[in-house]
Structure 1
Amino acid sequence: MKKPKLIGAILYSVQLALSAVLVFYIFKLNVLPDSVVFGCVLVLTLFAAAGAFLLFLKGTAKKIICACISLILSILLLIPIRVFRKTDSTLNNLQGETNTYHSNYEVVVRQDDEAEILSDLIGYKIGLDTAYNQASAEEALADIERKIESQLEVLEYGGSSALWTALTETRETDAILIDHSFYEMFREAYEAQNDQIENHVKIVDKITVSVDIETPPTASPSTPPEESLQLWERPFVIYVSGIDVAGKITTRSRSDVNILIAINPNTKKMILVTVPRDTYVPFPGVTDGAYDKLTHAGIYGDNCAVSIATLEQYIYTGITIDKWIRVNFTSVERIVDALGGITVESQYNFSSGNYTFVKGMNEL
């Protein structure tokens, strides 16, 4: 009598423990509708109550039945627990909250300048763009001065265009500290004129600084979200921003991929709309009504704030964006790794960079 009861009690305890683990993951992931969560908790509670009822009934047969039910349920519970645990691990590998962003700067001089390293800038005038991300620019300047152990004469300019002109045309300044994204914009401008930026300037050094997240600008959405409803109970929009760099996702850069995902949980339908990167629109709180390419909105602000405000404004879409996702080149690699790799079929044998692909199936 005691042995079946002991075995039943042990297996019942295992069942309860696994049920608690499953409930923990359900609430931690918070991806299931309330109705599904309620149903799962109710079923687990009923099984727990039934097991307790059988366990405390007299009779060896009832205790054996309780042990068998608990064993079967424990095995079955391991399946969703494993799935939820894998999902939780994958999400943790793909996301992470941060209070800082990273800005990359180039220290640039004219092509005919004799300066080759930072220490050559001692005694130079250096231009600074104070119209954009002044805090990180000043931090980068302080980093330069620490490295060369000397203070530089700083000239402030209200925008990247004025900064570039002061170096390359009017020669008011001997060097400039320019955000990498703006430097790449000027590179593209020269290439559009069949010229090379290296014919005009050269990079003396590169600086990376970490800055606190800024307060995002706001746009006036056409229809405020129904705050009383959960996200999955009403139509909602997700903005996907793909920035043109590898490495840290917190690096400010151009948003070359801009996708709006409209999801209607009621009709079970989803629509993806790709917004052209070169669409000319004003950036709320940034360009003062002037038009610029949508891709450049990714350079400003944090957490896709300027890109979202730009897309939400009346003159463009007038929609409300509920959530956002930011990815870069490294994100794609991490997503593939998190999924355990993917198989891609190629119609040709070819090599690209350091990689070689064969005709047929390729494991990535």
Structure 2
Amino acid sequence: MSGKSKTLPTIVVASAGIAAGAAVAFTGFLLKRRAVRTTCKPFYAEATRRFKIPGISEGFVPQDLFYLSDEQTWLFSGYLANRRPSPIYQVGADGTVRRHEVRLPEGSLYRGHGAAVTAAGPFVFLTVRDGFIALDRAELAKAADGDVLQATGHRAVPLMPAFMTVQKDMLYIGEFSHRLFYPTPKSHWLRCPSGETNPALLLAYAPHDGGPFGFGEHPSAVYSIPGNVQGMCVTPEGNIVLSLAWGFGDAEVRIYDPAQAKRGGSYLVEGHKAPLYFLDEATRVETLTVPPMAEGIDDVNGEVYLANEAASNLYLLGKFYGGQYVYSFPTRE
């Protein structure tokens, strides 16, 4: 009895401390929710809540989404915080969800970041550290929930891919830059005509029947882009849309008109020259403040669809302001 009386106060104090910590955290979430709802009010006024991000409450940390128009299916890529194999999800028009693991060409299961997923022709592309792997699109379309998808090939690219999309028959693949935590090579830091310095590159590959997976061996254009870019898409009018996010601060969706982009001569990529263009303040035509931790984006019929990682179990914050859902919003051209 005396032993219990000695330990009981410790347990009570510890429990009280945990409860107090939880209360503080909960209060912080509520305050952040109020702040997000205020700063992102124009976004919520124009955006439409579409559907719940798959796996968001089962450890999945979404990084990208892409719409397969022929199959009327959404693809999601990302990773699991516990380092289990990274899944791909399919969400059908009726809301049916199918989850798959991916086997790399050399035989091991994919455990990568799942930074981006996209598709072109008979292939679905998924980023790896040095480029992307290709999956058979027809096999993916008929795969049952739980099936493992076998990658059929791999392509290396001359940067570490953070986002990727195929839009208007062009393959775009770009890098993420953060000065302290994710620095890019100094050769990628370029002074823009409008005065600012862009620290990252976006490579554009044109279609080519004899090239790897249907695209040219070398970039047909190089774009100088800002830091913190998480995703990209192209509007029907040809504008380039970038999502930018870092940490728990508000994220942004920026729209650029590449027709206004100034030519900066050529940029040498693996010994081959490609025309260089700048996505800078002179070419930015619109900016929309969006909730924190925005990730991949895709354009479907003039609406930009946005994925967000903030409501994953790794971060939790987004569960307080609807971050577990895909939202879409129109762009004002």
TM-score when normalising by structure 1: 0.24
Please state which structure has a larger fraction of its residues in strand.
2
- The structure in which a higher percent of residues are helix is 1
Normalised TM-score (structure 2): 0.26
